[in-house]
Protein backbone atom coordinates (compact mmCIF):
# COMPACT_ATOMS: atom_id res chain seq x y z
CA UNK A 1 0.00 0.00 0.00
CA UNK A 2 1.37 3.46 -0.88
CA UNK A 3 0.20 6.86 0.40
CA UNK A 4 -0.34 6.31 4.13
CA UNK A 5 -2.20 8.81 6.33
CA UNK A 6 -1.72 8.81 10.08
CA UNK A 7 -3.26 10.96 12.85
CA UNK A 8 -1.19 11.46 16.01
CA UNK A 9 -2.45 13.21 19.18
CA UNK A 10 -0.80 15.92 21.22
CA UNK A 11 0.38 14.85 24.66
CA UNK A 12 0.98 16.47 28.02
CA UNK A 13 3.95 14.95 29.84
CA UNK A 14 4.84 14.80 33.54
CA UNK A 15 1.34 15.80 34.74
CA UNK A 16 3.20 17.45 37.62
CA UNK A 17 5.40 14.94 39.44
CA UNK A 18 5.68 12.13 36.85
CA UNK A 19 8.84 13.49 35.29
CA UNK A 20 9.81 11.42 32.23
CA UNK A 21 7.37 8.62 33.11
CA UNK A 22 3.76 9.88 32.92
CA UNK A 23 1.80 11.54 30.13
CA UNK A 24 -1.68 11.84 28.65
CA UNK A 25 -2.93 12.11 25.07
CA UNK A 26 -5.10 15.13 24.18
CA UNK A 27 -7.66 15.59 21.41
CA UNK A 28 -5.55 17.74 19.09
CA UNK A 29 -3.93 16.00 16.11
CA UNK A 30 -1.14 16.23 13.57
CA UNK A 31 -1.58 14.44 10.27
CA UNK A 32 1.32 12.67 8.55
CA UNK A 33 1.01 11.61 4.89
CA UNK A 34 3.77 9.36 3.57
CA UNK A 35 4.37 7.73 0.20
CA UNK A 36 7.29 5.98 -1.47
CA UNK A 37 9.18 8.27 -3.84
CA UNK A 38 12.17 6.34 -5.16
CA UNK A 39 15.47 8.19 -5.04
CA UNK A 40 14.24 11.44 -3.50
CA UNK A 41 13.07 13.01 -0.26
CA UNK A 42 10.39 15.69 -0.40
CA UNK A 43 8.82 17.23 2.70
CA UNK A 44 5.96 19.69 2.68
CA UNK A 45 4.66 21.24 5.95
CA UNK A 46 1.34 23.03 6.56
CA UNK A 47 0.07 24.59 9.78
CA UNK A 48 1.99 24.88 13.06
CA UNK A 49 5.74 25.34 12.61
CA UNK A 50 5.48 25.31 8.80
CA UNK A 51 8.10 28.03 8.37
CA UNK A 52 10.63 26.55 10.82
CA UNK A 53 10.40 22.78 10.62
CA UNK A 54 13.29 21.25 8.68
CA UNK A 55 12.40 20.00 5.20
CA UNK A 56 15.56 17.99 4.60
CA UNK A 57 17.17 14.95 6.21
CA UNK A 58 17.19 16.73 9.61
CA UNK A 59 13.38 16.43 9.75
CA UNK A 60 12.46 14.08 12.63
CA UNK A 61 9.47 12.50 10.81
CA UNK A 62 11.89 11.45 8.10
CA UNK A 63 14.51 10.33 10.67
CA UNK A 64 11.91 8.17 12.41
CA UNK A 65 10.84 6.65 9.08
CA UNK A 66 14.48 5.96 8.22
CA UNK A 67 14.87 4.17 11.56
CA UNK A 68 12.07 1.77 10.52
CA UNK A 69 13.80 0.99 7.20
CA UNK A 70 17.09 0.36 9.08
CA UNK A 71 15.36 -1.85 11.62
CA UNK A 72 13.80 -4.11 8.98
CA UNK A 73 16.97 -4.16 6.88
CA UNK A 74 15.52 -2.38 3.83
CA UNK A 75 17.45 0.14 1.76
CA UNK A 76 16.45 3.77 2.17
CA UNK A 77 13.71 4.09 -0.47
CA UNK A 78 13.11 7.85 -0.81
CA UNK A 79 9.87 9.28 0.51
CA UNK A 80 7.35 11.99 -0.10
CA UNK A 81 6.08 13.35 3.23
CA UNK A 82 3.33 15.87 3.87
CA UNK A 83 2.73 17.18 7.41
CA UNK A 84 -0.47 18.95 8.42
CA UNK A 85 0.25 20.25 11.92
CA UNK A 86 -2.21 21.37 14.57
CA UNK A 87 0.11 20.81 17.57
CA UNK A 88 2.09 23.97 18.37
CA UNK A 89 5.84 23.34 18.23
CA UNK A 90 8.21 23.69 21.19
CA UNK A 91 5.36 24.58 23.56
CA UNK A 92 5.15 21.48 25.78
CA UNK A 93 2.37 19.64 23.94
CA UNK A 94 4.47 16.82 22.53
CA UNK A 95 5.07 18.09 18.99
CA UNK A 96 8.36 16.20 18.66
CA UNK A 97 6.81 13.00 20.03
CA UNK A 98 3.93 13.30 17.53
CA UNK A 99 6.41 13.77 14.68
CA UNK A 100 8.48 10.75 15.74
CA UNK A 101 5.50 8.46 16.35
CA UNK A 102 3.84 9.61 13.10
CA UNK A 103 7.02 8.86 11.13
CA UNK A 104 7.46 5.43 12.70
CA UNK A 105 3.83 4.31 12.34
CA UNK A 106 3.50 5.58 8.74
CA UNK A 107 6.77 3.95 7.62
CA UNK A 108 5.83 0.71 9.38
CA UNK A 109 2.50 0.59 7.53
CA UNK A 110 4.23 1.48 4.25
CA UNK A 111 6.51 -1.55 4.72
CA UNK A 112 3.81 -4.05 5.66
CA UNK A 113 3.48 -3.57 9.44
CA UNK A 114 6.56 -5.66 10.23
CA UNK A 115 7.28 -4.05 13.59
CA UNK A 116 5.08 -4.66 16.63
CA UNK A 117 3.55 -1.78 18.58
CA UNK A 118 5.92 -2.47 21.47
CA UNK A 119 8.94 -2.32 19.17
CA UNK A 120 7.68 0.97 17.68
CA UNK A 121 7.35 2.31 21.23
CA UNK A 122 10.93 1.29 22.06
CA UNK A 123 12.20 2.99 18.88
CA UNK A 124 10.15 6.12 19.60
CA UNK A 125 11.60 6.27 23.12
CA UNK A 126 15.13 5.84 21.78
CA UNK A 127 14.58 8.74 19.33
CA UNK A 128 12.81 11.06 21.81
CA UNK A 129 15.04 10.19 24.81
CA UNK A 130 12.20 9.43 27.27
CA UNK A 131 8.86 7.62 26.95
CA UNK A 132 6.40 10.02 28.64
CA UNK A 133 5.11 11.75 25.47
CA UNK A 134 5.64 9.03 22.87
CA UNK A 135 3.80 6.35 24.88
CA UNK A 136 0.44 8.19 25.10
CA UNK A 137 0.92 9.57 21.56
CA UNK A 138 1.06 5.98 20.30
CA UNK A 139 -1.35 4.30 22.73
CA UNK A 140 -3.78 7.06 23.84
CA UNK A 141 -5.09 7.64 27.35
CA UNK A 142 -2.81 8.39 30.28
CA UNK A 143 0.24 6.15 30.24
CA UNK A 144 2.80 5.41 32.93
CA UNK A 145 5.95 4.02 31.39
CA UNK A 146 9.40 2.75 32.30
CA UNK A 147 12.22 2.15 29.80
CA UNK A 148 14.21 -0.86 31.02
CA UNK A 149 16.05 -3.80 29.52
CA UNK A 150 15.53 -2.61 25.93
CA UNK A 151 11.77 -2.12 26.06
CA UNK A 152 9.10 0.14 27.46
CA UNK A 153 7.02 -1.37 30.27
CA UNK A 154 3.77 0.54 30.43
CA UNK A 155 0.28 0.74 31.81
CA UNK A 156 -2.47 2.65 30.01
CA UNK A 157 -5.19 4.25 32.11
CA UNK A 158 -8.44 5.50 30.61
CA UNK A 159 -8.86 8.93 32.22
CA UNK A 160 -12.15 9.73 33.99
CA UNK A 161 -14.69 10.78 31.33
CA UNK A 162 -15.39 14.20 32.78
CA UNK A 163 -11.70 15.15 32.85
CA UNK A 164 -11.10 18.22 30.68
CA UNK A 165 -7.91 20.18 30.03
CA UNK A 166 -7.63 23.95 29.68
CA UNK A 167 -4.31 24.72 28.04
CA UNK A 168 -2.73 28.16 27.91
CA UNK A 169 -0.10 28.19 25.17
CA UNK A 170 2.24 31.21 25.40
CA UNK A 171 3.34 32.92 22.20
CA UNK A 172 7.02 32.08 22.77
CA UNK A 173 8.75 28.73 22.17
CA UNK A 174 10.81 26.87 24.75
CA UNK A 175 12.76 23.89 23.47
CA UNK A 176 12.79 20.79 25.62
CA UNK A 177 16.57 20.85 25.36
CA UNK A 178 16.73 24.35 26.91
CA UNK A 179 14.19 23.45 29.59
CA UNK A 180 16.19 20.33 30.54
CA UNK A 181 19.47 22.25 30.66
CA UNK A 182 18.30 24.13 33.80
CA UNK A 183 17.59 20.96 35.79
CA UNK A 184 20.02 19.81 38.48
CA UNK A 185 22.01 16.61 37.97
CA UNK A 186 21.25 15.52 41.53
CA UNK A 187 18.28 16.02 43.85
CA UNK A 188 17.77 15.51 47.57
CA UNK A 189 16.18 12.38 49.02
CA UNK A 190 13.45 14.65 50.38
CA UNK A 191 12.56 15.95 46.90
CA UNK A 192 12.73 12.43 45.47
CA UNK A 193 10.27 11.21 48.11
CA UNK A 194 8.08 14.28 47.51
CA UNK A 195 7.73 13.31 43.84
CA UNK A 196 7.51 9.55 44.12
CA UNK A 197 4.73 9.78 46.73
CA UNK A 198 2.73 12.19 44.57
CA UNK A 199 3.34 10.24 41.35
CA UNK A 200 2.10 7.06 43.02
CA UNK A 201 -0.96 8.93 44.33
CA UNK A 202 -1.62 10.48 40.89
CA UNK A 203 -1.57 7.13 39.09
CA UNK A 204 -3.85 5.68 41.77
CA UNK A 205 -6.18 8.69 41.58
CA UNK A 206 -6.50 8.36 37.78
CA UNK A 207 -7.19 4.61 38.06
CA UNK A 208 -9.72 5.07 40.88
CA UNK A 209 -11.22 8.19 39.21
CA UNK A 210 -10.59 10.16 42.44
CA UNK A 211 -10.39 13.66 40.95
CA UNK A 212 -10.45 15.13 44.47
CA UNK A 213 -6.87 13.86 44.93
CA UNK A 214 -5.45 15.60 41.85
CA UNK A 215 -4.52 18.84 43.61
CA UNK A 216 -2.03 17.24 46.01
CA UNK A 217 -1.09 14.47 43.58
CA UNK A 218 -0.03 16.94 40.85
CA UNK A 219 2.62 18.80 42.82
CA UNK A 220 6.26 18.58 41.84
CA UNK A 221 9.68 19.36 43.29
CA UNK A 222 11.93 17.95 40.54
CA UNK A 223 11.48 20.16 37.48
CA UNK A 224 8.85 22.89 37.77
CA UNK A 225 10.68 24.99 40.40
CA UNK A 226 13.81 25.10 38.21
CA UNK A 227 11.84 25.96 35.07
CA UNK A 228 9.77 28.73 36.66
CA UNK A 229 12.28 31.51 35.78
CA UNK A 230 11.97 30.53 32.09
CA UNK A 231 8.22 31.22 32.04
CA UNK A 232 7.14 34.72 33.09
CA UNK A 233 3.94 34.59 35.14
CA UNK A 234 3.97 30.80 35.69
CA UNK A 235 3.25 30.91 39.43
CA UNK A 236 0.58 33.59 38.98
CA UNK A 237 -1.14 31.57 36.22
CA UNK A 238 -1.14 28.46 38.43
CA UNK A 239 -2.55 30.46 41.33
CA UNK A 240 -5.21 32.09 39.13
CA UNK A 241 -6.39 28.77 37.68
CA UNK A 242 -6.49 27.16 41.12
CA UNK A 243 -8.48 30.17 42.39
CA UNK A 244 -10.94 29.73 39.50
CA UNK A 245 -11.64 26.13 40.49
CA UNK A 246 -9.15 23.94 38.58
CA UNK A 247 -8.51 20.46 40.00
CA UNK A 248 -4.79 20.67 39.25
CA UNK A 249 -2.52 23.08 37.38
CA UNK A 250 0.93 22.17 36.08
CA UNK A 251 3.46 22.95 33.44
CA UNK A 252 2.68 20.82 30.38
CA UNK A 253 5.79 18.81 29.50
CA UNK A 254 8.84 21.05 29.49
CA UNK A 255 6.60 24.15 29.09
CA UNK A 256 5.91 26.93 28.46
CA UNK A 257 2.26 25.75 28.15
CA UNK A 258 0.33 25.58 31.42
CA UNK A 259 -2.39 22.95 31.71
CA UNK A 260 -5.30 23.03 34.13
CA UNK A 261 -7.37 19.87 34.62
CA UNK A 262 -11.03 20.30 35.44
CA UNK A 263 -14.14 18.17 35.77
CA UNK A 264 -15.72 19.94 32.78
CA UNK A 265 -15.86 23.62 33.80
CA UNK A 266 -13.54 25.70 31.68
CA UNK A 267 -14.59 29.30 30.92
CA UNK A 268 -13.67 30.94 34.26
CA UNK A 269 -10.41 29.00 34.42
CA UNK A 270 -9.47 29.91 30.84
CA UNK A 271 -10.16 33.61 31.46
CA UNK A 272 -8.17 33.58 34.73
CA UNK A 273 -5.15 31.94 33.04
CA UNK A 274 -5.20 34.32 30.09
CA UNK A 275 -5.44 37.37 32.34
CA UNK A 276 -2.61 36.21 34.61
CA UNK A 277 -0.32 35.59 31.63
CA UNK A 278 -1.27 38.99 30.17
CA UNK A 279 -0.41 40.68 33.47
CA UNK A 280 3.04 39.11 33.20
CA UNK A 281 3.39 40.51 29.67
CA UNK A 282 2.81 37.17 27.90
CA UNK A 283 0.09 36.69 25.31
CA UNK A 284 -1.26 33.18 25.02
CA UNK A 285 -3.76 31.07 23.12
CA UNK A 286 -6.26 29.09 25.16
CA UNK A 287 -7.70 25.74 24.07
CA UNK A 288 -10.08 23.41 25.86
CA UNK A 289 -9.20 19.79 25.06
CA UNK A 290 -10.49 16.39 26.10
CA UNK A 291 -8.10 13.51 26.79
CA UNK A 292 -7.75 11.28 23.71
CA UNK A 293 -8.58 7.70 24.61
CA UNK A 294 -7.21 6.37 21.30
CA UNK A 295 -3.63 7.04 20.30
CA UNK A 296 -2.22 7.07 16.78
CA UNK A 297 -4.73 6.16 14.09
CA UNK A 298 -4.01 5.01 10.54
CA UNK A 299 -6.71 6.51 8.32
N1 LIG B 1 5.47 18.05 12.82
C2 LIG B 1 6.79 18.11 12.98
N3 LIG B 1 7.60 17.64 12.02
C4 LIG B 1 8.93 17.66 12.17
N5 LIG B 1 9.57 18.17 13.24
C6 LIG B 1 8.82 18.67 14.20
C7 LIG B 1 7.40 18.66 14.13
N8 LIG B 1 6.93 19.22 15.25
C9 LIG B 1 7.99 19.55 15.99
N10 LIG B 1 9.13 19.22 15.38
C11 LIG B 1 10.51 19.44 15.86
O12 LIG B 1 10.50 19.29 17.27
C13 LIG B 1 10.94 20.51 17.88
C14 LIG B 1 10.19 20.77 19.18
O15 LIG B 1 10.49 19.72 20.06
P16 LIG B 1 10.60 19.97 21.61
O17 LIG B 1 10.87 18.65 22.22
O18 LIG B 1 11.56 21.08 21.88
O19 LIG B 1 9.16 20.53 22.01
P20 LIG B 1 7.77 19.80 22.16
O21 LIG B 1 7.92 18.35 21.74
O22 LIG B 1 6.76 20.60 21.43
O23 LIG B 1 7.49 19.93 23.70
P24 LIG B 1 7.44 18.84 24.92
O25 LIG B 1 8.44 17.77 24.59
O26 LIG B 1 7.80 19.64 26.12
O27 LIG B 1 6.05 18.35 24.94
C28 LIG B 1 10.67 21.58 16.84
O29 LIG B 1 11.51 22.69 17.04
C30 LIG B 1 10.96 20.84 15.55
O31 LIG B 1 12.35 20.79 15.29
N1 LIG C 1 9.61 14.82 30.67
C2 LIG C 1 10.03 15.75 29.67
C3 LIG C 1 8.84 16.13 28.81
C4 LIG C 1 9.20 17.06 27.68
O5 LIG C 1 9.73 16.36 26.60
C6 LIG C 1 10.58 16.99 30.35
O7 LIG C 1 9.90 17.50 31.25
O8 LIG C 1 11.68 17.43 29.99
User: What pLDDT was estimated at residue 76?
Assistant: 80
Residue 217 annotated as lining a ligand binding site: no
Strand duo 142-148 + 248-251: pairing: unpaired
Distances (CA, A) of 129 to 100, 125, 185, 272: 11, 5, 16, 34
Domain of residue 211 covers: 164-289
User: What does the alpha-carbon distance between residue 129 and residue 136 come to, in Å, rounded to a whole number?
Assistant: 15
Q: Are residues 105 and 199 in the same domain?
A: no
Residue in 20, 99, 106 to alter for ligand 1 test, most ligand atoms within 8 A of Cβ: 99
Per DSSP, the chain holds a count of helices (H) and strands (E) of 10, 11
Ligand 2 proximity of 221 Cβ (cutoff 6 Å):
no
Determine the average pLDDT of the residues in 4-24: 98
Determine the average pLDDT of the residues in 169-189: 98
Q: What is the pLDDT of residues 199-236, one digit of tens each?
A: 999 999 999 999 999 999 999 999 999 999 999 999 99
User: What does the alpha-carbon distance between residue 49 and residue 53 come to, in Å, rounded to a whole number?
Assistant: 6
pLDDT at 167 over 90: yes
Instruction: Give yes or no for a contact between 48 and 167, defined as CB atoms under 8 angstroms apart.
Output: no
Residue 97 annotated as lining a ligand binding site: yes
B/e letters for 239-272, b = 16+ CB within 10 Å, e = fewer, are ebbbebebbbbbbbbbbbbbbbbbeeebebbbeb
What ipTM score was computed for the predicted complex, to two decimals? Answer: 0.98
Q: What is the pLDDT of residues 47-81, one digit of tens each?
A: 999 999 999 999 999 999 999 999 999 988 899 99
How does the average pLDDT of the chain come out, rounded? 97
| Ligand 2 centroid distance, CA of 222 (Å) | 11
Residue 88 annotated as lining a ligand binding site: yes
CATH number at residue 183: 3.30.70.890
| Ligand 2 centroid distance, CA of 224 (Å) | 11
pLDDT at 1 over 80: no
Ligand 1 proximity of 34 Cβ (cutoff 6 Å):
no
User: What pLDDT was estimated at residue 49?
Assistant: 97
Q: Which of 43, 128, 49, 126 is nearest to 79 (CA)?
A: 43
Question: What residues contact 61, with CB distance under 8 A and at least 6 apart?
Answer: 32, 34, 43, 81, 83, 99, 100, 102, 103, 106
Residue 78 annotated as lining a ligand binding site: no
| Ligand 2 centroid distance, CA of 254 (Å) | 5
The vertex-62 CA angle with 108 and 35, nearest 5°, equals 60
* Domain count along the chain: 2
Q: Are residues 205 and 146 in the same domain?
A: no
Ligand 1 proximity of 59 Cβ (cutoff 6 Å):
yes
Distances (CA, A) of 217 to 18, 132, 207, 220: 10, 17, 13, 9
The vertex-72 CA angle with 296 and 32, nearest 5°, equals 30
Q: What percent of the chain has pLDDT over 90?
A: 97
Taking the CA of 226 as reference, the closest ligand is 2
Q: Are residues 283 and 209 in the same domain?
A: yes
Single pTM value for the model: 0.97
Count Cβ atoms below 10 Å from residue 118 Cβ, excluding itself.
13
Q: Are residues 146 and 12 in the same domain?
A: yes
Looking at ligand 2, which residue's alpha carbon is closest to its atom 1? 20
Q: Are residues 150 and 236 in the same domain?
A: no
**Peptide bond before residue 78 is cis, with ω within 30 degrees of 0:** no
Q: Are residues 127 and 174 in the same domain?
A: no
| Ligand 1 centroid distance, CA of 204 (Å) | 30
Q: Are residues 188 and 260 in the same domain?
A: yes
| Ligand 2 centroid distance, CA of 255 (Å) | 8
CATH number at residue 132: 3.30.230.10
| Segment among 11-15, 148-152, 246-250, 280-284 with least mean pLDDT | 148-152
Determine the average pLDDT of the residues in 13-36: 98
Q: Are residues 187 and 149 in the same domain?
A: no
> Counting atoms of ligand 1 from 1, which one is nearest the CA of 32?
1
Amino acid sequence: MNNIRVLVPATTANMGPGFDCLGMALGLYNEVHMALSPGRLSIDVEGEGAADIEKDDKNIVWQAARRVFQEIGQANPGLSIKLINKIPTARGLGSSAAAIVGGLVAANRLTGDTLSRDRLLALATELEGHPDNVAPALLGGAVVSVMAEGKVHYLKINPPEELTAVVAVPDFPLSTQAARAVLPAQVSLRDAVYNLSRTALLVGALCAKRLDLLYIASQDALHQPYRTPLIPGLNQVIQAANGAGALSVTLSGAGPTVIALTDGKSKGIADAMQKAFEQAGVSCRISVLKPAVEGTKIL
